Amino acid sequence: MYAWLFRSLPGPLLVQILLALAILAGIVFLLMQFVFPWLSQYSPLNDSTLESMTAPAQGRAEGTPHE
C-alpha cells in the first residue's frame, strides 16, 4: 500500500519524498488536533486517583513567610 502511494506521487524522487513527508505531517497534525482530543475523553488513562491540594498546609498561619 505504501509503495503504491509513493509510486503514485508525481515528480522525481526528491519531490516524491517531500510530498510524502508533507502528507505525513498533515496526517499527524489532523490526528493531534481532532482525533486524539476527542478520543482522550474515552480513555481511562487521564483519570487521576489523587485529590488536588487546594487547601493551605496545616499548622501554618496565612501571611507568614515560607522558609
Q: What is the pTM of this model?
A: 0.58
Residue that has been written with the C-alpha cell 509503495 in this structure: 3
pLDDT at 16 over 90: yes
> 39 or 63, which is more confident?
39
Contact status, residue 6 vs residue 16, Cβ threshold 8 Å: yes
Residue 24: per-residue pLDDT: 95
Q: Is 45 left (phi over 0), alpha (psi -120 to 50) or beta?
A: alpha
Residue 2: per-residue pLDDT: 77
Residue 65: per-residue pLDDT: 60
Write the pLDDT tens digit of every residue in 24-35: 999 999 999 999
Q: Which residues of 13-27 are buried (b: 16+ CB within 10 A; e: fewer)?
A: eeebeeeeeeeeeee
